[in-house]
Structure 1
């Protein structure tokens, strides 16, 4: 990806979106937006309990509680169909390793349309969520060397399991942006996900708004950046 490609991407996607569990914003503000693996590290989860979180499908959210760290909720990954996922991976990549790879990253949508599809999915449309709206240029300026891009929704297998593997995620410098533009057309999605391994400890510095949502309905504003500083909590 060239600098011109990156400029084009940021002009098309000035705001990134992350859907978090309802009530997660105070913890995210204080701890940063951490990957699942970073959270289980922080909470000292080991052995079988850790494998169930990192290397298996989570049909529901997982609550972690610690007297010093407080309470956090790890989201489910229910949209994954393990059987279909196995068919989408190369033969030398076990499903468990792919799940660990996903759990080592945090994910942002590059379009509000993608966010809307997730919020409107049958599994989530009646649930409440904290949606982070992130300034894309600010995040890229701070974390460009670590950021990766994906041309697919790496966390779903329906309606069909797009092929995927370790090279699904490419650093900005290595991402074939122009190639995906040619394949999908000028108005298509040359990238679908923006991904940060480990997480974004300073995520609060890059957020524009935090919005509680249920389906496609905004239910107020939890926090909003204003020109003179921060407001709303």
Structure 2
């Protein structure tokens, strides 16, 4: 699938974070949780725990040089439910490591609004970054993946997931991908494996909600 084909289907992408996170995002770029943990946490044992265990609440990291950064929680994910829906011999710790090395974007407003309406987000401010899909994907095409599920949630009949859940955009035949699981899938998440250091170039709007 080409960047142009993806952008025709999903011209805008959406990333949700804490309003206080924008300062570090603007300075460092949009980093996956693993990169933030490795940069901000000097204790190897604590670093390992953060990389491979669920975060029940948003976590603020502080560093004397790098400042502050916020890590989004994993509240919609249950390690017990996750263990029952993983393929390829993966453990919940393995899956959390996979998630923590990626940056996630909703492919449309539908997924974003569902997340904003979740009990977890009611009554607290969120920052929505709206991005130009073509700009972002052209700049990071070799690292972009697509997912047919919300890979960080295991609520209500969680979909099975494994090594093939994140499909490399440039190596994927979209029509074959849609039929791969015996149903017509749609793109739920657009994922960048690694960081997006030039995120400001691709942001077309910033919204504070509610």
With normalisation by structure 2, the TM-score equals 0.93
Aligned match for 1:116, one of 113, 136, 154: 113
Question: Higher strand share goes to which structure?
Answer: 1
Deviations 1:93-138 (A, max 9, x none): 1110110110010100000110000010011122111110010000
Question: Residue 90 of structure 1 corresponds to which residue in structure 2?
Answer: 87
In structure 2, the partner of 1:78 is 75
Note closer, same or farther for the CA distance 1:120–1:45 as it changes in structure 2 (3 Å cut). farther
**Structure 1 Cα separation of the partners of residues 174 and 192 of structure 2:** 18
Tell me, yes or no, if the aligned pair for 1:177 and 1:190 is still in contact at 8 Å.
no
> Residue deviations 1:164-194, cap 9 Å, x none?
012111111233421354533xxxx621111
Give the Å deviation of 1:91: 5.9
TM-score normalized by the length of structure 1: 0.84
Equivalent position of 1:12 in the other structure: 9
CA distance in 2, matches of 1:45, 1:204: 28
Preserved contact between residue 147 and residue 165 of structure 2 (Cα < 8 Å): yes
For residue 93 of structure 2, give the secondary structure of its aligned residue in structure 1: helix
**Secondary structure of the equivalent of 2:151?**
coil
- Structure 1 residue 193 corresponds to structure 2 residue 189: yes
| Larger gyration radius, structure 1 or structure 2 | 1
Unaligned residue ranges in structure 1 (runs of 5+): 215-233
1:204 and 2:200 correspond: yes
* 1:54 match: 51
**After the TM superposition, which parts of structure 1 deviate over 4 Å for at least 4 consecutive aligned residues?**
none
More helix by share: 2
Q: How far off its partner does 1:7 sit?
A: 3.4
CA RMSD of aligned residues (A): 1.5
User: Do the aligned partners of 1:177 and 1:191 also contact (CA within 8 Å) in 2?
Assistant: no
User: Which structure 2 residue ranges, 5 or more long, are not aligned?
Assistant: none
Q: Quick one: higher RCO (CA 8 Å, sep 6+), 1 or 2?
A: 2
Alignment of 1:136 onto 2:133: yes
Task: Indicate the SS of the match to 2:175.
Answer: helix
Which SS does the other structure have where 2:136 is aligned?
helix
- Quick one: distance in 2 between partners of 1:52 and 1:74? 14
Structure 2 residue corresponding to 1:174, chosen from 171, 184, 195? 171
Q: Matched residues in 1 for 2:22 and 2:206: separation?
A: 8
Partner-residue secondary structure (3-state), 1:204: helix
Distance in 1 between the 2:74 and 2:13 partners?
Answer: 20
